[in-house]
Structure 1
Amino acid sequence: MLQRIQSVYMFLVVVTNGVLPFWLYLWTDNLGEAVYAQDDMVYSGLFLASAVMAFVTIFLFKNRKRQFVLNRLNLILNLFLLGFFVYRSLILPGEANVSEKGIGMLLPIVSIVFLVLANKAIKKDEDLVKSVDRLR
Structure 2
Amino acid sequence: MIQRIQTIYLLLASAISGGLIFVFDLWENLKREVFAFDLLSSDSFNLKIIPILFLVSAILTFVAIFLFNNRKLQFVIGRLAILVNLILLGLSIYLSLNLSGETAVSEKGIGMFIPILAILLIVLANKAIKKDEDLVKSVDRLR
On whether the aligned pair clears a TM of 0.5, the verdict is: yes
Q: What does residue 19 of structure 2 align with?
A: 19
Unaligned runs of 5+ in 1: none
Structure 1 residue 89, shift from structure 2 partner: 2.2
Task: Give the distance between the partners of 1:66 and 1:26, measured in 2 at CA.
Answer: 32
Segments of structure 2 that go 5 or more residues without pairing to the other structure are 41-48
Q: Secondary structure at the match of 1:21?
A: coil
Match of residue 128, structure 1, among 129, 135, 139: 135
TM-score by length of 1: 0.95
Q: Give the residue type in structure 1 aligned to 2:20.
A: L
Alpha-carbon RMSD: 1.0
Q: How much identity, in percent, do the aligned residues show?
A: 57
The AA in structure 2 aligned to 1:28 is E
1:1-136 to 2 correspondence within 5 Å? 1-29=1-29, 31-41=30-40, 42-92=49-99, 94-95=102-103, 97-136=104-143
The residue type equivalent to 1:60 in the other structure is: L
After superposing on structure 2, the runs of 4+ consecutive aligned residues of structure 1 that deviate more than 6 Å are none
Amino acid at match of 2:52: G
Q: How many residue pairs are counted as aligned between the two chains?
A: 134
The CA distance in 2 between the partners of 1:67 and 1:94, in whole Å, is 42
